[in-house]
Structure 1
Amino acid sequence: MIEGGKRVMAAGIELSEYIMPGVGGMELSRENALETADVLNKIRPDFIRVRTFALPPNSPMEAMAREGRFTPMNDLEIVAEIRGLMGHLEEMPSHFRCADFSLNLLMHVDGYLNKDRVRMLEDLDSFLSLPELDRKAYVLLQRSGHYGVHPSEMLKHQDLMLELHNKIEELESGNGNGFDRYIRAMMAGQLPRPQTGSWV
């Protein structure tokens, strides 16, 4: 893969490399970030396109999750994985793209690694440093279809924040995992279904 990518770049052909944070689950999150960064640093593609993993319903991976062989990551954990990845990416003229995929939580983390890397790292750190309830509020807002809203803008609207906090409390009142299950279902609803009705 690395050699193939290098050949494409050497030939002057525009190259996009697609990455999928969250696909390794909690078990392989750190490895996924570090190994992906290593590959990208060697290829130095024109575009790095982020495609956040969402667990497909009725899929083999969902079965693995039920059996305890795969631990799905929530949005906050995936953002932390992206932060780990970017922290190991070199400053290169690759365009790190989050803005072109609706399942990416922080769509504003988008720019060139040789020009915007520091700003993107600051955006990731700013989100991760928010109180947990405010991070969840942003997740809920984004997953409800309000794409592209910056977290700092959301925090300015007290009525909206109260509404989001109340919804989070409602989701978590019966089960501690109610919020994550609700968000996971919303994300899965955006995934295409196998045309055969089966993953096999």
Structure 2
Amino acid sequence: MHYEGAHIIRPPSEADSIILQVTVGCSHNRCTFCGTYKEERFRIKDQAVVEADLDFAAQYCLKQSRVFLADGDVLSLSQRPLVELLSKIKQRLPWVNRVSLYGNAKAIRNKSVEQLLELKGLGLHRVYMGLESGYDPVLLAIDKGADAVAMIEAGQRVKAANLFLSVTALLGIAGSALSLEHAKATGQVLSGMEPNQIGILTLMLLENTKLYRLEQAGEFKLPTQQGMLSELRTMVEHLDLKKGQLQSNHASNYLAINARMPRDKEAVLAAIDQALAGKTRLKPEYLRAL
């Protein structure tokens, strides 16, 4: 398989997937906390290269039943190339039963429900979307490119197309000053989106980001461990989901959670309270990673 760029990333649940790189970098690439693609110019890979990767997968990836389309935002492509790509995957990798990709709010909102349904009919199953925060002042500060209303609209559009929606939220992204406001609003916006899966991550500052430079200048302060846990508790407290999975088992988190909502909500809150009281061993700093 042919990969370009310094980083090829995928969600944890795509660990066993065929990683088919269709674009390089991220179409937005302005988020102040993300350093993944800072050195990359967003571009669409040459069709012949993608075709060669499909040939490789058809010969050597017979035991992998899932495909993840990289890099940061393949959904930003226009409809025709996406239809052609999914059609080729369906034709040449007929054993694949799930195709997934990242999609930001702008890319999702640029697709109609009918277009998303067309992609679903060709094998698209799952859209991973980064919310990070549901609090508009934070979304503006981190240059996310969408406000809370746009985030909810995008999430609801994915759900209207009967696609699986996985959304990430980021503890610490508001800093200590707006921590609980961010947590409350994020819980409320997630409730409005009704994702099938919520993935909680904890902010780790990267040296090649604007947010790191702000922290070094004393203009941004990360919450403490206790602050992160309080944020998590407030976020969960304001979650009102009909059905969904809540996970904080990413390596960046201090406390791992794997729960079904709303069934496990009270148990999750109790577990966080135990951690806040110092009765649960948290992940040590040296084991945390992105």
- Tell me by how many angstroms 1:38 deviates: 1.5
Q: Is the 8 A contact 1:55 1:72 kept in 2?
A: no
Stretches of structure 2 lacking an aligned partner (at least 5 in a row) = 1-150
Residues 20-99 of structure 1 mapped to structure 2, 5 A cutoff: 20-99=170-249
Give the corresponding residue for 2:258: 110
Separation (CA, whole Å) in 2 of partners of 1:67 and 1:25: 14
Question: SS of 1:71's equivalent?
Answer: coil
1:174 is aligned to none
Aligned-pair CA distance for 1:98: 1.2
Report the CA distance between 1:106 and its aligned residue.
0.9
Runs of 5+ consecutive residues of structure 1 not aligned to the other structure: 146-186, 192-200
* SS of alignment partner, residue 255 of structure 2: coil
Matched, 1:143 2:261: no
TM-score (norm 2): 0.45
| Per-residue deviation, 1:122 | 0.4
CA RMSD of aligned residues (A): 1.8
Opposite residue 28 of structure 1, the aligned amino acid is L
**Correspondence for 1:3:** 153
Match of 2:22?
none
| Structure number, greater radius of gyration | 2
Q: Is the counterpart of residue 126 in structure 1 residue 268 in structure 2?
A: no
CA distance in 2, matches of 1:59, 1:114: 36
SS in structure 2 at match of 1:20: strand
Equivalent residues of 1:18, 1:50 under 8 A apart: yes
What amino acid sits opposite 1:44 in the alignment? E
Contact 1:22/1:53 (CA < 8 Å) preserved in 2? yes
Secondary structure in 2 matching 1:89: coil
AA in 1 matched with 2:265: R
Counterpart secondary structure, 1:51: strand
User: What amino acid does structure 2 have at the position aligned with 1:66?
Assistant: Q
- Check whether the contact 1:91–1:117 (CA below 8 A) recurs between aligned residues: no
Query: Deviation of residue 73 (structure 1)?
Result: 1.7
Normalising to structure 1: TM-score of the pair? 0.64
Aligned match of 1:194 = none
Q: Distance in 2 between matches of 1:126 and 1:16?
A: 27
Q: CA deviation at 1:91?
A: 4.3
Contact 2:188 2:240 in 1 (8 A): no
Question: How big is each residue's C-alpha offset from its partner over 1:131-186, in whole Å with a ceiling of 9 and x where there is no partner?
Answer: xxx77xx34x53344xxxxxxxxxxxxxxxxxxxxxxxxxxxxxxxxxxxxxxxxx
For residues 209 and 163 of structure 2, the distance between their equivalents in structure 1, rounded to whole angstroms, comes to 35
Distance across 1 between alignment mates of 2:227 and 2:207: 20
> What is the total number of aligned residue pairs between the two structures?
140
